[in-house]
């Protein structure tokens, strides 16, 4: 093949290859193939050395022009590839700053935590200090010192969770405390009188149905001072009812029996739906809040407090129950509160 033909074949082949180049790596490979040191062009140039001086001059010029035009074509292709890349980016990475933002999910406290804080605050204003006594407790504090004897049904395995731990000669077995009243004697033992205690804690019982969960909360108030009477108890509850449930709510005491108080009461609050008239929800206009009473002298003595000098009132109410009563919530299954289902919890 003549020099001219060789050069022409090279250029045609170059143009064909250039047409199918799709990215800068392929373009670089093409440049090396046609313009590099071991390229097709160099092969053609080698033919020059067998030519006469005049021939060589003309052919050399042609070869240089071919080289130059291929270089220009490569540069042009490079710019073209870059332009296409940037155009692609403009659509792929476009940000429309006028679009509404994606709001991050905002969490909030669990309804139980909110209630604990509210109840704590109401009693704090009356001088009650929030404390926490053990959840894993001796029978001594959970039952014995509260006059709940060994034969009482509450101490049965079916009511209380017993811990598999060594028994203490005096304090008995360990249990998961079934009520916050376990804190009463413990608080007295600190020996700091008078006492205004608000013990809010987790409590445990072997129960699980629509209105019971095995882990629940109680808040226990304890007031011990000289001359504390049932009047104080009633005034305290009346204040709490109005603060927590609303100014129109009333309180009623019903005689009851607890081992650790004498006299003992069930505390009712006027129904929020019918304002005490009587409706389908409450029947007679009242709903039950929880137990209360004046501490039995033996309980005071168990805590090292002289019942001749001091008297005390105590009350212990279920927190979940109190929360659902305020909201007028008819939670069909109390277990939902602790199922961890955000769809339920988001409502409160």
Q: Using CB under 6 A, list all residues that contact ligand DAH.
A: 179, 181, 220, 258, 261, 291-293, 314-316
- Specify the 3-state DSSP secondary structure of 206: coil
Return the residue matching tokens 């000669």: 169
Count of beta carbons in the 10 Å neighbourhood of residue 289:
23
> Quick one: 112 or 261, whose CB is closer to ligand DAH?
261
| One-character DSSP codes across 171-197 | TB-EEE-SSTTHHHHHHHHT--SSEEE
| One-character DSSP codes across 17-56 | HHHT--SHHHHHHHHHHHHSTTSHHHHHHHGGGGS-HHHH
List phi, psi (to 5°) of 200.
-110, 125
In the complex, least distance from residue 226 CB atom to ligand DAH, rounded to whole angstroms: 19
In the complex, least distance from residue 274 CB atom to ligand DAH, rounded to whole angstroms: 27
> Quick one: 285 or 291, whose CB is closer to ligand DAH?
291
Return the residue matching tokens 């490079």: 78
In the complex, least distance from residue 345 CB atom to ligand DAH, rounded to whole angstroms: 26
In the complex, least distance from residue 179 CB atom to ligand DAH, rounded to whole angstroms: 3
Q: What separation, in Å, do the N-terminal and C-terminal C-alpha atoms of the chain show?
A: 90
In the complex, least distance from residue 144 CB atom to ligand DAH, rounded to whole angstroms: 14
> Quick one: 74 or 146, whose CB is closer to ligand DAH?
146
> Quick one: 271 or 299, whose CB is closer to ligand DAH?
299
> Quick one: 100 or 255, whose CB is closer to ligand DAH?
255
In the complex, least distance from residue 153 CB atom to ligand DAH, rounded to whole angstroms: 13
> Quick one: 204 or 245, whose CB is closer to ligand DAH?
204
Nearest to 248 by CA among 279, 275, 281, 277: 275
198 DSSP assignment = E
């Amino acid at each position: 093949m003549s020099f001219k033909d060789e050069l022409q074949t090279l250029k045609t082949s170059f143009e064909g290859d250039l047409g199918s180049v799709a990215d800068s790596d392929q373009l670089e490979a093409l440049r090396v193939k046609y313009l590099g040191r071991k390229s097709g062009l160099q092969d053609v140039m080698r033919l020059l050395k067998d030519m006469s001086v005049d021939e060589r001059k003309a052919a050399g010029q042609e070869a240089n022009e071919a080289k130059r035009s291929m270089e220009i074509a490569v540069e042009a292709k490079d710019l073209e590839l870059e332009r296409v890349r940037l155009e692609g980016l403009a659509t792929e990475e476009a940000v429309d700053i006028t679009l509404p933002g994606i709001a991050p999910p905002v969490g909030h406290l669990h309804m139980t935590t909110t209630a604990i804080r509210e109840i704590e605050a109401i009693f704090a204003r009356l001088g009650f200090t929030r404390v926490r006594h053990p959840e894993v407790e001796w029978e001594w504090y959970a039952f014995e010192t509260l006059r709940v004897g060994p034969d009482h049904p509450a101490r049965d395995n079916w009511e209380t969770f017993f811990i598999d731990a060594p028994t203490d000669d005096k304090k008995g077995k360990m249990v998961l405390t079934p009520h916050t009243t376990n804190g009463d004697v413990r608080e007295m033992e600190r020996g700091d009188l008078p006492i205004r205690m608000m013990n809010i804690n987790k409590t445990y019982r072997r129960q699980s149905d629509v209105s019971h969960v095995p882990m629940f909360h109680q808040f226990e108030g304890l007031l011990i001072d000289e001359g504390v009477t049932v009047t104080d108890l009633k005034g305290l509850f009346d204040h709490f009812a109005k603060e927590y449930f609303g100014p129109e709510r009333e309180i009623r005491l019903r005689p009851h029996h607890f081992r650790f108080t004498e006299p003992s009461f069930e505390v009712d609050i006027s129904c929020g739906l019918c304002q005490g008239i009587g409706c389908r929800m409450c029947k007679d206009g009242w709903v039950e809040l929880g137990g209360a009473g004046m501490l039995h002298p033996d309980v005071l003595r168990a805590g090292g407090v002289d019942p001749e000098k001091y008297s005390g009132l105590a009350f212990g109410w279920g927190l979940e129950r109190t929360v659902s009563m305020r909201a007028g919530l008819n939670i069909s299954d109390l277990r939902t509160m602790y199922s961890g289902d955000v769809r339920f919890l988001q409502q409160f």
